[in-house]
């Protein structure tokens, strides 16, 4: 191990800052959430959240639809992606989305 690796190890080991995760927001800015903020804002994943995530993976190939902002399914997908899944409105929209679009 050379001297630079040793310096890097020392710098990492001596770090006293909070731990967490850096996320890129829809506005392009980066946000750092500490572990405490993540715990406080954590949501419990339900089967509906899991099903929607799986559905998004299946529909990812449908790039042509993404151009049609007037398509109700595209609008619903955009809404579901940008609103809290820990709400009754989200669950309602998601269920309708599955009935109509999937």
Within this chain, do residues 65 and 21 fall inside the same structural domain, yes or no? no
Which residue in 97, 9, 2, 10 sits closest to 49, CA to CA?
97
Helix (H) or strand (E) holding 72: helix 72-82
Within this chain, do residues 54 and 11 fall inside the same structural domain, yes or no? no
Within this chain, do residues 33 and 59 fall inside the same structural domain, yes or no? no
Pick the more confident residue, 12 or 88.
88
Pick the more confident residue, 1 or 24.
24
Q: For residue range 22-76, what is the model confidence (pLDDT) as tens digits?
A: 888 888 888 888 888 888 877 777 788 778 877 776 666 555 555 566 778 888 8
Boundaries of domain holding 9? 3-41
Q: Is the pLDDT of residue 86 over 70?
A: yes
Q: Using N-to-C axis directions, what is the helix angle for 47-59 and 72-82, rounded to 10°?
A: 130
Within this chain, do residues 94 and 60 fall inside the same structural domain, yes or no? yes
Query: pTM for the complete prediction?
Result: 0.50
């Amino acid at each position: 191990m050379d001297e630079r690796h040793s310096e890097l190890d020392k710098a990492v080991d001596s770090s006293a800052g909070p731990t967490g995760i850096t996320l890129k927001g829809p506005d392009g800015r980066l946000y750092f959430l500490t572990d405490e903020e993540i715990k406080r804002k954590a949501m419990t994943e339900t089967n509906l959240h899991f099903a929607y995530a799986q559905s998004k993976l299946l529909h990812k190939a449908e790039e042509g639809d993404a151009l049609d902002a007037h398509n109700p399914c595209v609008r619903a997908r955009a809404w579901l992606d940008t609103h809290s899944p820990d709400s009754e409105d989200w669950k309602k929209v998601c269920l309708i989305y599955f009935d109509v679009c999937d």
